[in-house]
Amino acid sequence: MLFLLTVVVYPLVYAVNLSLQYYRLGGFAGLHNFAFAFQDSLLAASLRATALYVAITVSAEVLLGLALAVAVQRTVRSVAGRTLTYLLFIVPMVTPPVAAGVMFRLMYIPEYGILNVLLHNAGYQGRPILWMSSPAMAMFSVVSVDVWQWMPFAFLVLFAGLQAVPLDVVEAAAVDGAGGWARFRAIDLPYLKPLLLLVLVFRVTDTLRVFDHVQVLTMGGPGAATEFLSLYLYKIAFKFSNLNYASALAIYVVIIVSIVFAVTSRYLSEELA
């Protein structure tokens, strides 16, 4: 316990202390660093990019995972088929993000990437696509890795949830003439609601702090198109060595995450306990 306190609580106190001092000069700065955040246009750009990333990634992951879970639940009945699906989707989740970044770099990179070659063979005649060096495509590339890696998480959790739907309810509904969509709306969805919330909380908090595969794939570029909050903080703290301003930003993040956590944790711990 003491160990946890030293590793977790002490750094937070330290960060507060850092955030209240001037960069380089030292000395008490009051809320200077906190106020500066509101004039920082790079921060605003980074926040917009992060919000876009979270919104696209999480909705793609949850919707695809949900659709797939329902589809597999209804069509794949054999144990072997289900085990195979399970194994297929476990693998990307346990792949280190750095390795996933390398994998997709090898596919997207202009000089060596296989993707443009495949597109060309499939009849695409236009200019080679710059997967990582045009802003829109770079965003697409980093999103694609996240969705590739974590859509399976949504799928596996929701699929496990669907196993808890009692069969007699489903059969009774079928007797009453409920179609596939009605069954989903009236039976599956209510059962999945708590798990959907859980997946959302996990994925939103994880995508908000995304770092690893972006650092490997685009390093925040081109320009600042994929410079998400964590990459921006990393740059301020360790490239520009401005630990004071970075700490102030970090404390903002703690406050926001704590609020989100406080709001959702009541529901979440009911699920978990």
User: Exposure string (b/e) for 215-253, b if CB count within 10 Å is 16 or more?
Assistant: bbbbebbbebbbbbbbbbbbbbbeeeebbbbbbbbbbee
Residue 267 CA to residue 273 CA, distance in Å, equals: 10
Tell me which residues in 118-147 interact with other proteins (CB under 8 A).
120
Stretch that binds other proteins, among 30-38, 51-59, 125-133, 151-159 (CB under 8 A): 151-159
Q: Are 86 and 152 in contact (CB under 8 A)?
A: no
Q: Which is nearer to other proteins, 139 or 211 (CB)?
A: 211
Q: What tokens were used for 156? A: 């596996």
Distance CA 234, CA 231 (A): 5
Choose the stretch contacting other proteins; rule: CB under 8 A; options: 26-34, 46-54, 132-140, 209-217. 209-217
Which residue lies nearer to other proteins by CB, 166 or 271?
271
Instruction: Rule CB under 8 A: choose which of 21, 33, 215, 226 binds other proteins.
Output: 215
Alpha-carbon gap, residue 110 to 129, rounded angstroms = 8
Question: What binding mask, one character per residue, do residues 182-201 give for other proteins by CB under 8 A, x or -?
Answer: -x-----------x--x--x
Number of H-type helices and E-type strands within the chain: 14, 0
- Pick the closer one to other proteins by CB: 134 or 264: 264
Q: Between 57 and 96, how does the x/- string for binding to other proteins read (CB under 8 A)?
A: -----------x--xx-xxx--x--xx-xxxxxxxxxxxx
How many residues bind other proteins (CB under 8 A)? The answer is 92
> Does 54 contact other proteins by CB under 8 A?
no
Secondary structure of residue 224 in the 3-state scheme: coil
Tell whether residue 41 is a contact of other proteins (CB under 8 A).
Answer: no
